[in-house]
Amino acid sequence: ATRRIQRHTVVLERRLESSHTEVSKLRNHLEQVRRDAMTDALTNLANRKAFDEKLDTICADHDEHGGTVSLAIIDIDMFKRFNDTWGHQTGDQVLRYVASAISRIAQMPRVAARYGGEEFAIVFPGETASQVEHVLETLRSDIASRALRRRSTNDDLGVVTISAGVAHRHKNESPLQLMERADAALYVSKRAGRNRISSAQNILSETAA
């Protein structure tokens, strides 16, 4: 009887071990699915859903603890023209090129995302307005510093440029209002001829003047 119980125990131990392995595999898989749901597959940046959640958390933290928060919205200039002229595959490469430059400057605690088709967003917690604007200016000139080539034909794609709008958050301002101000600043950059950064502060002072 003792031997039978011993054998039975060994079998149960093996089953338990294999269940542990299975649970750990499922946990890893779940983690991967969760990561995929928050990531833009083409650029590997966060997607809009992940960004909106982060922005909410960062704004709530700003209301509670003070400090600074800035938000930049970035748009690739004349992107539709790239797609129409060179095709979607080349358009995708342009998106990856811009995303790669953005991710180089978007280390923690900054958060960057592909926000829409050719639109990106970066939130900067804890940095002064002039630091943020300096970083964006560096990003703009970095992206515009290279001419891209179409890989399949080696055609010269020319220079890719971005326009951006940045807004520095007022305490208790909703994430949506902050977005709207950054968007309005982006519109100013576009109207002023593209390939530039505009700040919502400047828009306010321009309007006041």
Task: By CB under 6 A, name the binding residues for ligand C2E.
Answer: 90, 93, 96-97, 100, 148-151
Given a contact cutoff of 8 angstroms between Cβ atoms, the answer to whether 28 and 103 are in contact is no
Q: N- to C-terminal Cα distance for the chain?
A: 96
Least distance to ligand C2E, CB of residue 93, Å: 3
* CB-count burial class (<10 Å; 0-12, 13-18, 19+) for 51: buried
Q: Which two tokens stand for residue 6?
A: 């011993």
Distance between CA 65 and CA 62 in Å, rounded?
5
Q: Which CB, 48 or 150, lies closer to ligand C2E? A: 150
Which residues pair with residue 124 across a beta bridge? 70
Q: Of 31, 118, 133, 206, which is the active-site residue?
A: 118
Q: How far is CA 146 from the centre of its chain?
A: 22
Q: Which CB, 8 or 146, lies closer to ligand C2E? A: 146
Query: In terms of Cα–Cα distance, which of 116, 115, 132 is closest to 168?
Result: 132
Continuous segment of H or E residues that includes residue 13 = helix 2-37
Least distance to ligand C2E, CB of residue 170, Å: 35
Q: Which CB, 96 or 190, lies closer to ligand C2E? A: 96
Least distance to ligand C2E, CB of residue 117, Å: 17
Distance between CA 203 and CA 95 in Å, rounded?
28
Whether 118 sits among the annotated catalytic residues: the reply is: yes
Q: Which CB, 8 or 151, lies closer to ligand C2E? A: 151
Least distance to ligand C2E, CB of residue 107, Å: 15
Residues annotated as catalytic are 118
